[in-house]
């Protein structure tokens, strides 16, 4: 009742469980904690959106989950259980068996992620050879099939990345990620370099592929409006911490954390009356010196005196996890209503 979206997909098999994950970057001024005590659980076939501004730790979290961090970044605590095995302690050759086959990553900019001097086909074959014993004929057949799946003519196996449009490059990246039909695909802002029309068609395609092949998706973006129609659950990050985690519907209809409310009202709409937008004044804090208390308090329009002193915990608001003092004593929904939605929905 509290969470209709996830309730539908019972029995849910947990494929990924992140517990108390902390990631730090070593710097001259000491460790900078970019991901701070993040917990999350992902079920088979689920679509999880992660939103937040630049520098809030979204990408670092993804890289930590897929063990792609390189120095000076390192995991300093917590565990990442993928099918019950802790990714954090796995050796490189064990990771190799998991990567691409069970878990794959789609990078932010296809322009930089694809090799400009190799054809798309050669790059797909490369991934196949590194992670399986497929014959050349099988590799070609598989590559053609995957390209067709993302609506690219297989003739483009012979094309170089510069011969494809931005949207096609990004779709080719997704085709590569799906070569072995993994159970989890991690996407780091795959649409941010595209214009709205290409972005929309790519999102719809990802959703269709997901329904067809049944993989789970972790989708990172700074544009909250983008995932609204596509994700099952939404996680909002700010300054390395999870500030709100709940079903997408609930977060959109009743954002609890003031930061979520701010993100939701930051962009103009094409419908309804024109209202002046304020965005979220200020910028995310320097993680080398995070503010005392609630990390959002310096920018928060609703901050109370205590917010700048004591760090809030995560409180349960009807299945939504919220890191804000205004929900500290909310055990019954009446009090939640009395606290009022910060978004101030009309």
Partner 1 sequence: MSDELLRTEGLTRHFRVGRLARQQTLHAVDDVNFTIGRAEIVALVGESGSGKSTVANLLALIYRPTKGEIYFEGRPLSRVKTRRQRLAYSGDVPMVFQDPYSSLNPAYRVSHGIARGIKLHRSDLARQERGAELERVLETVGLVPAADVRRKFPHELSGGQRQRVGFAQALAFRPKLIIADEPVSMLDVSIRAGVLNLMSELRRREGVSFLYITHDVASARYIADRVLVMYAGHLVEEGPAEEVLQRPKHPYTQLLLSAVPDPQAPLGLADTTDVGEPPRVVDPKEGCRFQPRCPYAVAECGKVTPALRSIGSGRRVACHVAEADAPVAAEPAATA
Q: Which of 75, 98, 103 is nearest to 88 (CA)?
A: 75
Q: Which stretch binds partner 1 (CB under 8 A): 125-133, 173-181, 221-229, 334-342?
A: 221-229
The CA distance from 334 to 283, in Å, is 34
The CA distance from 205 to 198, in Å, is 10
Q: How far apart are the first and last CA of the chain?
A: 25
When the beta carbons of 4 and 313 are compared against partner 1, the nearer one is: 4
Candidates 72, 214, 279, 301; binder of partner 1 (CB under 8 A) is 279
Residue 261 interacting with partner 1 (CB under 8 A): no
Beta-bridge partners for 242? 237
CA distances from 331 to 103, 137, 291, 315, 321 (A): 38, 61, 28, 9, 12
Residue 277 interacting with partner 1 (CB under 8 A): yes
Cα angle 323, 68, 229; round to 5: 50
Q: Which stretch binds partner 1 (CB under 8 A): 104-112, 116-124, 279-287, 323-331?
A: 279-287
Residues 8-67 that bind partner 1 (CB under 8 A): 53-54
When the beta carbons of 278 and 288 are compared against partner 1, the nearer one is: 278
When the beta carbons of 102 and 192 are compared against partner 1, the nearer one is: 192
Candidates 67, 131, 142, 249; binder of partner 1 (CB under 8 A) is 249
Six-digit token string for 231:
């994700």
Residue 163 interacting with partner 1 (CB under 8 A): no
Candidates 27, 115, 163, 283; binder of partner 1 (CB under 8 A) is 283
The length of the chain is: 346
Q: Which of 96, 90, 83 is nearest to 180 (CA)?
A: 96
Q: Which residues bind partner 1 (CB under 8 A)?
A: 53-54, 151, 165-167, 194-201, 204-205, 207, 222-226, 228-230, 248-249, 252, 262-264, 266-272, 274, 276-281, 283
């Amino acid at each position: 009742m509290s969470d209709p979206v996830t309730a539908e997909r019972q029995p849910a098999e947990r494929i990924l469980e992140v517990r108390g994950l902390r990631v730090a970057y070593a710097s001259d001024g000491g460790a900078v904690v970019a991901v701070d005590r993040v917990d999350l659980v992902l079920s088979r076939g689920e679509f999880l959106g992660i939103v937040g501004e630049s520098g809030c730790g979204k990408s670092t979290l993804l890289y930590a989950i897929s063990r792609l961090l390189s120095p000076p970044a390192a995991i300093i605590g917590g565990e990442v259980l993928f099918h019950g095995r802790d990714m954090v302690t796995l050796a490189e050759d064990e990771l190799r068996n998991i990567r691409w086959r069970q878990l794959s990553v789609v990078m932010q900019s296809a322009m930089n992620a694809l090799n400009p001097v190799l054809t798309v086909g050669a790059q797909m074959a490369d991934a196949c050879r590194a992670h399986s014993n497929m014959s050349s004929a099988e590799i070609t057949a598989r590559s053609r099939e995957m390209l067709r799946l993302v609506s690219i003519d297989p003739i483009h196996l012979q094309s170089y990345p510069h011969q494809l449009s931005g949207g096609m490059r990004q779709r080719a990246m997704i085709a590569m990620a799906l070569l072995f039909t993994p159970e989890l695909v991690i996407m780091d802002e795959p649409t941010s370099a595209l214009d709205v029309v290409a972005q929309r068609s790519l999102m719809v395609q990802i959703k269709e592929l997901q329904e067809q092949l049944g993989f789970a998706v972790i989708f990172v973006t700074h544009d909250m409006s983008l995932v609204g129609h596509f994700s099952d659950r939404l996680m909002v990050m700010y300054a390395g911490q999870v500030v709100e985690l709940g079903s997408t519907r609930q977060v959109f209809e009743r954002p609890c954390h003031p930061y979520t409310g701010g993100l939701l009202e930051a962009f103009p709409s094409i419908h309804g009356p024109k209202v002046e937008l304020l965005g979220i004044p200020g910028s995310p804090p320097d993680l080398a010196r995070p503010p005392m208390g609630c990390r959002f308090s310096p920018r928060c329009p609703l901050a109370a005196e205590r917010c700048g002193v004591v760090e809030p915990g995560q409180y349960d608001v009807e299945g939504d996890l919220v890191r804000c003092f205004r929900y500290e004593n909310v055990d019954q929904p009446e009090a939640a209503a009395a606290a009022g939605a910060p978004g101030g929905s009309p």
